[in-house]
């Protein structure tokens, strides 16, 4: 397998009070903003306060990855494969988090629940949809 590289242009970036690593449990309750490039603002039409969105962002400070690791970098947790974890140390440093919209103004979405560092490039925003984001009978019961 010799895939060609894929390139994306960020639609904006995260503005938060976390310039570096912090545990997700600490970041998610704090407010943050998704600041879109001005020409992307029209794409926010229909997003409303209280709505949940799936935010896809680039882990821009991640320099390396581990295929096997202790989740949470806690040696008390058994070693798992990276694809069985939510680790930021991934072959493609892409993260996905559900966030709740507080407000939308111009090209800025104010949210809570986002665990992205300040300056993280935002790749996409999608509305949370139970029809797409909840397991169905065809996907089978959880293990």
For 90-99, 118-127, 133-142, which range has the lowest pLDDT when averaged over its residues? 133-142
Confidence of residue 132 (pLDDT cuts 50, 70, 90): confident
* pLDDT: which is higher, 140 or 83: 83
How far apart CA 72 and CA 31 sit, in angstroms, is 23
**What domains sit in the chain, N to C, each tagged with a CATH number?**
12-58+92-130 (2.40.30.70)
**Integer Cα distance of 68 and 65 in angstroms:** 9
pLDDT per position as a tens digit, 9-33: 999 999 999 998 888 899 999 999 9
Range with top average pLDDT, 10-19, 53-62, 77-86:
10-19
Helix (H, G, I), strand (E, B) or coil at 38: helix
Residue 2 has pLDDT above 80, yes or no: no
Q: Which residues contact 88 (CB under 8 A, 6 or more apart)?
A: 59, 62, 95
Count of beta carbons in the 10 Å neighbourhood of residue 71: 15
Tally of CA atoms within 13 A in the half-sphere of 9 that contains its CB: 4
What pLDDT was estimated at residue 65?
Answer: 87
């Amino acid at each position: 397998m010799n895939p060609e590289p894929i390139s994306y242009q960020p639609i904006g970036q995260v503005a938060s009070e976390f310039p570096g690593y912090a545990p997700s449990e600490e970041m998610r309750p704090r407010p943050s903003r998704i600041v879109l490039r001005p020409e992307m603002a029209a794409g926010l039409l229909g997003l409303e306060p209280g709505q949940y969105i799936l935010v896809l962002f680039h882990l821009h400070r991640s320099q390396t990855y581990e295929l096997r690791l202790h989740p949470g970098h806690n040696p008390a947790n058994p070693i798992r494969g990276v694809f069985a974890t939510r680790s930021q140390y991934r072959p493609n440093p892409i993260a996905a988090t559900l966030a709740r919209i507080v407000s939308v103004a111009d090209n800025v979405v104010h949210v809570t629940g986002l665990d992205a560092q300040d300056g993280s490039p935002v790749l996409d925003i999608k509305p949370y949809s139970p029809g797409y984001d909840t397991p169905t009978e065809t996907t089978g019961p959880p293990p």
